[in-house]
Amino acid sequence: MSLLADLLTTVFERRFRKDGLSMDLQNRSIEDLSRDLIASDAEHTIRALSQAIVQRFDTLDDAAKLEFFKFLATQMDIDAAAVRAALADYEATPSKASYGAFAAAAEPPRQEFIRRLNAVPGATGALVNMRADLLRLARKDPQTQALDMDFRHLFASWFNRGFLVLRPISWETPAHILEKIIAYEAVHEITSWDDLRRRLAPPDRRCFAFFHPAMPSEPLIFVEVALTHGVPSSVQGLLAETRAPMAADQADTAVFYSISNCQSGLASISFGNSLIKQVAADLSLELPRLKTFVTLSPIPGLGHWAKGQGINLTDRTGDELKAIAAHYLIREKGRGDAPLDPVARFHLGNGAQVFQLHADADTSAKGQQQSAGVMVNYLYDLSKVAQRHEDFTAGTLAASKDIKTLADAARSLLPNEKV
């Protein structure tokens, strides 16, 4: 059946190119094509229009893309009057039919538009790139924010954990994938192929990535792992060119030292929580001696926050830096009373514990700018992550005794209003 479907698709696509229909579509505006796509019930027409729209969008400049997004936001929005009428009917006479009518009225046509575009082979990746353009061009535009919510709603279903494939990334992985690992690394820059080899080839190094079947050559997110004795205190030690590798089966600790999201069009679609837990579970089965699962994480918001408080981190001792960082991580809150720091918010919300802090842990220019070189270990105790996640949603942050002691010590180091 699969072979027959492929043959029929090939025949259709050749006929589509020969009969001149493609030329007719090329002469029409993307807005007109979009209206026809929503109006059509014929499968072959939907396919042809979807392909034409995907191809056309890719040729638009930024101004034309923004106008197209505004068209979708305004011309394919819900009919508020129809929604109110359908809701009134459902309230008056609850039934399968009245509920179906309300659900249909409450869904904007642009959601079906996005679904139909996704019928074209390769369109999933194109739609992810389309949302990346939307976020880049119109993130704060009130007209398009509802459109972005529609993209997020559909992507949350299409990219849920059940569809994702976890694949190990090794030095033997095809070069076109490895090139993307180099390009997408967002925490600790990969400076060369030799640098990449040091992260993938030794027996005490691992890398894993999530892929989606519709985007088999595009990693969605990946994590780099170091297998070590004990909890490391600096990233330069983990990445040193001269370090001596160890046998994997001798390690007692797995260190997640870099987690990079790869697709800007999938922003706010969470993969990292599933990735870390899946990798930890798989490694614990492969290497039974592993007992500790920690990160070695940056503190990206510390420097900016400290500057806003009038705190000069460069004048502080290592112990003072750790105390200030501990206060920042567990006591400075952002929206919804969650941790202000985005990395802390992610790991603590994922069921981790703030475990240890290290000064002089990242001597790179980026590490110094972000946090004066301070880094943090978040501990993933697999027996406690579920409970800690529940505690986090209830407003309780998991922190070790040492971290709490450090945070208390920060009182004498902070401005009066922070004491």
Catalytic residue check, 347: yes
Token pair of 70 as six digits: 């505004």
C-alpha 53/C-alpha 156 separation (Å) is: 23
Instruction: Report whether 314 contacts 372 (CB < 8 A).
Output: yes
Instruction: Report whether 180 contacts 220 (CB < 8 A).
Output: no
The terminus-to-terminus CA distance of the chain in angstroms comes to: 70
C-alpha 327/C-alpha 331 separation (Å) is: 5
Calculate ∠ Cα 144-217-110, nearest 5°: 25
Calculate ∠ Cα 304-132-338, nearest 5°: 40
292-295 and 221-228 beta bridge pairing: unpaired
Catalytic residue check, 327: no
Query: Which helix or strand (DSSP H or E) is residue 128 part of?
Result: helix 123-138
C-alpha 102/C-alpha 90 separation (Å) is: 7
Map residue 208 onto helix, strand or coil.
strand
- State the CB neighbour count (10 A cutoff) for residue 107: 14
Name the catalytic one among 297, 327, 358, 371. Answer: 297
The amino acid sitting at 299 is I
Instruction: Report whether 339 contacts 345 (CB < 8 A).
Output: yes
Furthest-apart CA atoms within the chain: distance in Å: 79
- Burial call 383-409: b when 16+ CB within 10 Å, e when fewer: eebeebbeebeeeebbbbeebeebbeb
Name the catalytic one among 188, 212, 327, 347. Answer: 347
Catalytic positions: 297, 347
